Amino acid sequence: MSLTFRRPKTLRLRRQPRYPRKSTPRRNKLGHYAIIKFPLATESAVKKIEENNTLVFTVDVKANKHQIRQAVKKLYDSDVAKVTTLICPDKENKAYVRLAPDYDAFDVVTKLGSPKLSPAG
């Protein structure tokens, strides 16, 4: 027996609310086309395509790596090995998307049809 009072643990019932606290579940406001804005066609981006099997995109600032991975997988039908992001000084978000070894970045670029990014152009 101690000198401090300990309140006894009584029956704890589960809550039964009369209405849900959140009316609807939050949905993703960024679609696949809103996440990926456009591919970059700079010299360093083309070098990444050739050497590292990596595509470079300008993406929405609010998009995270999981969303970028899903968007690339859906829009370009290719598996993603790794996504690296950085925020540029002009408040743009740049994503380096490394494709899986069984996918070639050149093939994805030719599917894009961009004359700046195609190997011939």
- Summarised one tens digit per residue, pLDDT across range 24-58 is 877 778 899 999 999 998 999 999 999 999 999 99
User: What is the domain-level CATH number for residue 84?
Assistant: 3.30.70.330
In a domain, 11, yes or no: no
Q: Which long-range contacts (CB under 8 A, 24 or more apart) does 49-53 make?
A: 49/105, 49/106, 49/109, 49/117, 50/106, 52/98, 53/98, 53/99, 53/101, 53/103, 53/104, 53/105
In a domain, 21, yes or no: no
Number of domains in the chain: 1
Question: What's the pLDDT score for residue 52?
Answer: 93
Question: What's the pLDDT score for residue 67?
Answer: 95
120 has a pLDDT exceeding 50: no
In a domain, 3, yes or no: no
Question: What's the pLDDT score for residue 87?
Answer: 94
In a domain, 50, yes or no: yes
In a domain, 32, yes or no: no
In a domain, 64, yes or no: yes
Between CA 108 and CA 97 the distance in angstroms is 12
In a domain, 57, yes or no: yes
Give residue 51's domain range. Answer: 40-112
86 has a pLDDT exceeding 90: yes
Residue with tokens 């090995």: 81
In a domain, 56, yes or no: yes
